[in-house]
Amino acid sequence: MSTDNTDSTGRQNETPAPFPFLKTTPEAAPAEPDNALGAFTRSLRTAMRRWYGIARPVVGHWLEERADDLRDAFRNGWDETTTWIKATVGATVLLAVAAVVVMSVALIAESAVDGVNAVAGIEIPAGIDGRTGLLASITGPVWTYLQNHTAGLAVSAPTAYGTWILTGAGTGLLSFLTRAFGARLAWGATGAATGWMVWQGAPADGREVALGIAVIAFALLSIPALRGFRIRGF
């Protein structure tokens, strides 16, 4: 029994196949419009095809080299690692350290603000009830100076006074612990500002004595704060 689709006259039967989706004859792609847009589309497709043919082996070769670098880094250790891996690891570590430092500084600043608020209502020693009055010879003029020069500012005199105390203690401690140039520079600037406020806030008859006491106190405190400090050539 014949299984082809011919009738008794020998002509091909035009009855469609029962399963059209099994048809293997490729259908022609829809023709692109023969205009400027069609020409541009064909040119773009051709350029992309050429670019892909050129870029594929180049990118593949580059990726293979980077994979070899990573394998060599795990196999040979850090000393034999290529520069780009060291730079990537270093940048990542630097960013992580910077993030930690920023968060730490934010916490320290917040703590400093709380400390300033805590000492905002502190009573300034007048030196009358003190045993020697040496401390009051420094803090009294500073307090007087801040009272006279914060009237038109948003910050109050107690807050400025508390900030001065925290700045002196903080810069001295950082200078002692880190020996960093910035910390020592801040410590020196704090001492200079303290001397200026003592001179301006002390009574006219006792300015020299008050400033001298402040300089002596700052010099004694600078011994631990400036430990290890040397002038070049000495």
DSSP for 144-166 reads HHHHHH-TTSSS-HHHHHHHHHH
Q: What's the pLDDT at 127?
A: 44
Which comes out higher in pLDDT, residue 226 or 107? 226
Give how far Cα 57 sits from Cα of 47, 49, 53, 63, 65, Å.
Answer: 17, 13, 7, 10, 12
Q: How far is CA 207 from the centre of its chain?
A: 45
Give how far Cα 86 sits from Cα of 61, 80, 83, 89, 147, Å.
Answer: 21, 10, 5, 5, 56
Q: What's the pLDDT at 130?
A: 47
Q: What's the pLDDT at 109?
A: 66
Q: Is the pLDDT of residue 81 over 90?
A: no
Helices 181-201 & 157-178 angle (0-180, nearest 10):
150
Per-residue pLDDT band for 66 (boundaries 50, 70, 90) equals: confident
Q: What's the pLDDT at 77?
A: 76
For residues 102 and 167, what is the distance between their CA atoms, to the nearest angstrom? 19
φ and ψ at residue 12, rounded to 5 degrees: -70, 135
Residue carrying the six token digits 């006279």: 148
Query: pLDDT tens across 101-160, in order?
Result: 777 766 776 676 666 666 555 554 444 444 457 788 888 899 999 989 988 888 888 888
Which comes out higher in pLDDT, residue 85 or 187? 187
Global pTM value: 0.47
Let me know: does 13 contact 7? Beta carbons within 8 Å. Answer: yes
For residues 46 and 49, what is the distance between their CA atoms, to the nearest angstrom? 5
Q: What's the pLDDT at 211?
A: 93
For residues 114 and 159, what is the distance between their CA atoms, to the nearest angstrom? 11
For residues 38 and 206, what is the distance between their CA atoms, to the nearest angstrom? 95
